[in-house]
């Protein structure tokens, strides 16, 4: 089956009958992986992008158009290479938190949007992005992990799940080790369910400590084409929450 055809078919299966596939040509732009821009952003357009290894990243508040990226190199974590720092492993043995999945997606993405980050003014998660990803969550494509402490959200993360690939979008932390411990628990559960790759898009010190590394864009796109149409062998949410509950 021709590349675009399997992507269209997979898109309809996961997104719904209203899916409209949009082809993004991937060329060497010479601008760190910036492919181009559009005036608008829709859930269907965003999901089309993920099916081709592309994602939106722009600052709506500053009036940017919708920028589409496919970086070279690509920063990824094959789950078979997951490294768990001793400090987080020790923390999880006595964690004060409870962990859930897909219980408060809207609150998690808003928490990520409001998170203050060094060297960054404002946020790339504007109103348009909030609306798009909440739509994808309602379709079972975007997922959140929540960390709770005394009934309040202490941290979390969210991303896009397609086949055996999880595209990590953002995380936020209110209390110490909340998102770090959630990421480790999620990664373990994802691997247990047959997940193969966590796409972190661009380098961060935070994800590097877990074993993520750069690969070429060509290698990434080839790997992703093998994994997007794959399936998990277990229910990810149930597996995650069962594993997290054994800590308590």
What the block records as the tokens of 25 is 């040509």
In the chain, pLDDT over 90 holds for what percent of residues?
Answer: 86
Domains of the chain with CATH codes: 3-69 (no CATH), 74-245 (3.40.630.70)
Q: Is the Cβ–Cβ distance between 149 and 97 less than 8 Å?
A: yes
Q: Is the Cβ–Cβ distance between 200 and 212 less than 8 Å?
A: yes
Tracing tokens 């999901």 back to the chain, one arrives at 47
Report pLDDT digits (tens) over 108-144: 999 999 876 554 554 679 999 999 999 999 999 999 9
Report pLDDT digits (tens) over 195-245: 999 999 999 999 999 999 999 999 999 999 999 999 999 999 999 999 897
**pTM (two decimals):** 0.94
Report pLDDT digits (tens) over 51-74: 999 999 999 887 889 999 999 999
Report pLDDT digits (tens) over 8-53: 999 999 999 999 999 998 765 556 799 999 999 999 999 999 999 9
Vertex 44 angle, CA 11 and 108, to 5°: 100
């Amino acid at each position: 089956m021709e590349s675009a055809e399997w992507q269209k078919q997979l898109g309809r299966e996961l997104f719904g009958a209203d899916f409209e596939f949009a082809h993004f040509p991937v060329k060497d732009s010479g601008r760190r992986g910036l492919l181009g821009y559009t005036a608008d952003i829709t859930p269907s357009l965003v999901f089309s992008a993920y099916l081709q290894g592309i994602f939106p990243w722009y600052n709506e508040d500053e009036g940017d158009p919708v920028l589409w990226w496919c970086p070279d190199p690509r920063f990824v974590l094959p789950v078979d290479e997951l490294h768990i720092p001793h400090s987080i492993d020790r923390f999880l043995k006595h964690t004060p938190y409870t962990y859930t999945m897909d219980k408060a997606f809207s609150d998690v993405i808003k928490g990520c949007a409001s998170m203050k980050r060094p060297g960054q003014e404002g946020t790339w998660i504007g109103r348009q992005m909030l609306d798009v990803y909440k739509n994808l969550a309602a379709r079972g494509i975007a997922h959140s992990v929540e960390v709770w402490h005394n009934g309040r959200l202490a941290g979390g993360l969210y991303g896009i799940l397609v086949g055996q690939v999880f595209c990590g979008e953002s995380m936020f932390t209110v209390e110490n080790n909340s998102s770090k411990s959630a990421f480790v628990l999620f990664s373990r559960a994802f691997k247990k369910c047959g997940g193969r790759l966590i796409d972190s898009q661009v380098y961060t010190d935070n994800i590097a400590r877990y074993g993520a590394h750069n690969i070429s864009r060509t290698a990434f796109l080839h790997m992703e084409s093998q994994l997007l149409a794959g399936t998990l062998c277990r229910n990810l949410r149930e597996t995650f929450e069962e594993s997290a509950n054994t800590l308590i």
